[in-house]
Amino acid sequence: MANPNNPLAPGLNGAAPKGPRTIWNNPVFSAVLAIIMGFAMWIIVTVYIDPQGSTTVTGVPINYTSGASTYTAQGLDIVEKPDIEGVTVKVEGNSTIIGNIRSADIMVYPSYAGVSGAGKVTLRLQARVTNTTDFPGDIECTVESPSTIDVVFDEVSEKTVPVTVDASAVTISSGYMLNKTTAVPAEITLRGPTSELDQVSSIVAPVQMDGELADTTTVPATLELRDEEGNAFTPQYISMESDSANVTLTVYQVRELPLKVDFIGAPNGFDVESLHYSLSQQTLCVAGPARTISALEALTVTDFDLAREFEPGRDYQRLIELPAGIVSLDGVTNVTLDFDTSEMASTKLNVSNIRAINVPSNYELQILSSIVSGVTLYGPADEIEKLSADSIVAQIDCQSLNLTVGQQTIAVSIQIPSSSRIFATGSYTVQCEVTSK
């Protein structure tokens, strides 16, 4: 019979009793330990025994500018490239270094060694590490996919073309006109294959607007390339420095305004309405900014000096003076001024009534001349017939003079106080003595 007090005694079924359990008998611990030991051995092998390894980097962009002097020196440029999002590159080297390498650390570039002229060329892709600071040492890059690309080369030149505004679709309000159009930029530089540039005849900025336009405005417009027949031309390879322009449409108001003459050199109080004159054109059709032209009541021609210019029986060319910003739509720049002298008469008188006005308080002016001889006067025949020398004054206005001490020859103006329709022609002077007080 078994002894229950003997731990080494066989069990009821004759099996030997189990010994005490330890961590080494734990199968989970054994598995974890095996993993740790395996990782440690891998570290030792990869770092100290065989550190070489490889990794694959995807999405590396192609750099077309590296080595571009090979084809630019031949007057060529790339006009067509493949649409590739990125290249797959195999990187080989010390696995502890290349483990964190990214697409930004690598440059993929074509080899242009086989480029010798225009046309499509198959180029081999190459790769190298550009971030040598973080990834030093002997690292080899191999392009896996795609390993080659097809690129089209052509002779490339530049062409500068002015921008033409097409405002044919714009409606201008009644009473207004489109004076001019301007585009900014005013010209566009195109770059591309010479053969394609030769097809571009013009660059047009078509303007589309809703409603009627009655004021100057600036709108954006998309530029169009057009051939010599005016048809829209869609380039395949041409690049533009700008594909849009800001177009200013300058809108002017249109008005027909009367022409008038301003008469100068007439006596004080002279009635210019008593002059019977006519202009070869009574009105002028003009256009200008609404704010400017709406304030005008008439347009003047160059002043007419009665005293210096008037002669009976002749006509006079006068320039139409347009305010700044106003343009003539009739193409007329001057008119002919003509006087009707059928009811006029003239006479010559010697004027002894000589007066000085506006003499400065620090001067005295003595008139030495006693008479102004041969003063020519024009006016209505009935008034000229009754005119006498006593009703005429030769006047010195010192306000407009620069007086100096001593004798001076001073101009006089002829005044006719008794009439508002008589004027004198010619220039007249008197001798005076100026003294200081």
- Preceding amide of 206 cis, omega within 30: no
The answer to whether residue 183 sits within a structural domain is yes
Q: Report pLDDT digits (tens) over 263-305.
A: 999 999 999 999 999 999 999 999 999 999 999 999 999 999 9
In-domain check, residue 14: no
In a domain, 379, yes or no: yes
**Pair (56, 137) in one structural domain:** yes
For the domain that residue 189 is a member of, what is the CATH number? 2.170.120
Q: Residue 192 CB: number of other CB atoms within 10 A?
A: 22
Q: Which among 359, 354, 357 is positioned nearest to 375, based on CA atoms?
A: 354
Pairing of strands 372-380, 277-279: unpaired
Domain boundary among 285, 307, 339: 339
Domain endpoint, select from 339, 358, 381: 339
Q: Is 170 in a helix, a strand, or coil?
A: coil
Beta partners for 145?
88
CATH of residue 406's domain is 2.170.120.30
Helix (H, G, I), strand (E, B) or coil at 360: coil
pTM summary value:
0.61
Phi, psi of 324 (to 5 degrees): -55, 130
Is the domain of 86 the same as that of 172? no
Q: Do residues 275 and 246 both lie within one domain? A: no
On whether both 91 and 130 belong to a single domain, the answer is: yes
Question: What was the pLDDT predicted at 237?
Answer: 82
Based on the domain organization, do 248 and 259 belong to the same domain?
no
Question: Which residues are within 8 A (CB) of 327 and not within 5 positions of it... i.e. 6 or more apart?
Answer: 179, 252, 286, 287, 288
Give domain status of residue 47, yes or no.
no
Helices marked H in 177-262 — which ranges? 194-197
CA dihedral sign of residues 38, 44, 47, 48: negative
Domain annotation covers residue 297: yes
Q: For residue 62, what are the domain limits? A: 52-146
Asked whether residue 181 falls in the same domain as residue 101, the answer is no
Amino acid 192: pLDDT: 86
For the chain, what's the residue count?
A: 437
154 part of a folded domain: no
- Stretches in the chain below the pLDDT threshold 50: 1-2, 7-9, 11-12, 50
**Number of independent structural domains in the chain:** 4
Q: Looking at the structure, do residues 137 and 58 belong to the same domain, yes or no?
A: yes
Q: Which domain-ending residue is among 228, 252, 276?
A: 252
Alpha carbon separation from 324 to 258, 334, 405 (Å, rounded): 18, 17, 44
| Residue type (1 letter), 131 | N
In a domain, 78, yes or no: yes
